[in-house]
A and B are shown apart, each in its own frame.
Chain A
Amino acid sequence: SQELEQSPQSLIVQEGKNLTINCTSSKTLYGLYWYKQKYGEGLIFLMMLQKGGEEKSHEKITAKLDEKKQQSSLHITASQPSHAGIYLCGAGPLGQNFVFGPGTRLSVLP
């Protein structure tokens, strides 16, 4: 079965700094989802990447998919306290085989 790893496990940055979170798959990625979780709010879908080389942006968050490396990166530019939370990548076919990474805990210091 597919497994996802994320790095770093946790991250503390100063407001205004840029940061990158990586998600690496044990198998070929055919689609990769990024979510954000804030305590008490459930998972929020950020974006989905389907094709190798694809890059998507939402406000100050950009994600890329490197199919060859079986990896995706999530980059936040000029981080703000509102960016704090847990970022999860997810992949796989729908349903019970869908897997999530362990999450990256982001804290942004004002």
Chain B
Amino acid sequence: SAVISQKPSRDICQRGTSLTIQCQVDSQVTMMFWYRQQPGQSLTLIATANQGSEATYESGFVIDKFPISRPNLTFSTLTVSNMSPEDSSIYLCSVEGPFRGETQYFGPGTRLLVL
């Protein structure tokens, strides 16, 4: 299994500002995933982050709004840019187990409120 930590655990931000969320894993992983869970909605995949290459974004998410860094095999950041109240969500990072057929492991989440 993988142990994942996220910083910050929660934040309250003003409209128009940006917030960078950090995700640290206790082991080297190839792929890291960023999800969003908006109030009353399901967990939604934002992007997949591979080390050494640009992140792959899902439909409806763009790099200008959610830039992602993946400088090494244990760390990634997600920035929520030019925030609006609609960005108020819980943001989670996740990694797969090293073996095919393993389910994913999730970080504790970052709870973001945009005023």
A residues apposed to B, CB below 8 Å: 33, 35, 37, 39-45, 48, 86, 88, 90, 94-96, 98, 100, 102-103, 105
Give the residue of B31, B43, B90, B109 whose beta carbon is less than 8 angstroms from that of A43: B43
Q: Does B67 have its Cβ within 8 Å of any Cβ on chain A?
A: no
Contact of A40 among B31, B35, B37 (CB under 8 A): B31
Number of B positions contacting A (CB below 8 A): 22
- Enumerate chain A residues within 8 angstroms of B31, measured Cβ to Cβ: 40
A94 touches B44 (CB 8 A): no
Q: Which of A35, A100, A105 contacts B101 (CB 8 A)?
A: A105
B contact residues around A44 at 8 Å (CB): 45
B42: which A residues are within 8 A, CB to CB?
33, 35, 45, 48
- Contacting pair A37 B103 (CB below 8 A): yes
Distance, CA A105 to CA B104, complexed state (A): 13
Write 15 A-B pairs (CB below 8 A) sorted by A numbering: A33-B43, A40-B31, A41-B48, A42-B45, A42-B94, A43-B33, A43-B35, A43-B104, A48-B42, A86-B101, A94-B39, A95-B109, A98-B37, A98-B43, A102-B103
